[in-house]
Amino acid sequence: MTRRLIVCFFWAVTALAQTPQSATKEQAPASPSATPAPQATPPSLLKRDEKPADVAADQPVITVRGLCPAETKPATEKVVPSANQCAMTVTKAQFDNLLKAFNSNNQPISAAAKRKLAESYVEILIFAEAAKAAGVENSPTFAEVMRVLRLKTLADLYRTQIAEEYRNPAQQEIEAYYQANQQKFESVKLTRIYLPRSDPDPQATPEQKQDYQKKIQGVVDDIAARAGKGEAMDKLQKEAYSTLGIKSAPPNTDMSMARRGMFPPKLEQDIFSHKAGEVFRSDDGNGYIIYRVESRQTSPIESVHDEIVRDMLRQKLDEKTKELNAPIHTELDENYFGPPPPTNGPAMPPTPPK
CA distance linking residue 310 with residue 338, whole number of Å = 38
pLDDT digit string (tens) for 220-238?
Answer: 999 999 999 999 999 999 9
Q: Span 14-26, mean pLDDT?
A: 37
- Of 267, 276, 237, 264, give the one whose Cα is nearest residue 253: 237
pLDDT at 107: 83
pLDDT of 28: 35
pLDDT in tens, 58-80: 999 999 988 887 754 444 455 55
Q: What is the mean pLDDT of the chain?
A: 81
Q: What is the pLDDT of residue 259?
A: 86
Q: The whole model's pTM is what?
A: 0.56
Give the three-state DSSP class for 186: strand
Angle between helices 2-11 and 111-133 (to 10 degrees): 10
Q: What is the mean pLDDT of residues 275-286?
A: 91
The more confidently predicted of residues 32 and 186 is: 186
Calculate the dihedral angle through the C-alpha atoms of 40, 45, 46, 48, rounding to the nearest 10 degrees: 80
Query: Looking at residues 29-42, what average pLDDT do you find?
Result: 41
Name the strand (E) or helix (H) holding 247.
none
Q: Which residue has the higher pLDDT, 240 or 15?
A: 240
Which of 14-18, 81-85, 213-217 is predicted least confidently?
Answer: 14-18
β-partners of residue 64 are 88
241-262 confidence digits (pLDDT tens): 999 999 889 999 998 888 888 8
pLDDT the model gives residue 50? 53
Whether the pLDDT of residue 205 is over 70: the answer is: yes
The whole-angstrom separation of Cα 277 and Cα 291 is 10
What integer pLDDT is reported at residue 231 of this predicted model?
95
Statement: residue 351 has pLDDT above 60: no
> CA 286 from chain center: how many Å?
35
Q: What pLDDT does 53 receive?
A: 66
Tell me the per-residue pLDDT of 108-163, one tens digit each, with 9 for 90 and over.
888 899 999 999 999 998 999 889 888 899 999 999 999 999 999 999 999 989 99
What value does the mean pLDDT take over residues 30-52?
47
Q: Which of 188, 186, 193 is nearest to 254 (CA)?
A: 193
Q: Residues 183-210: what's their mean pLDDT?
A: 91
Of 303, 313, 319, residue with least CA distance to 167: 313
Mean pLDDT across 166-195: 92
Cβ burial, residue 135 (10 Å; 0-12/13-18/19+) = exposed
Amino acid at 332: L
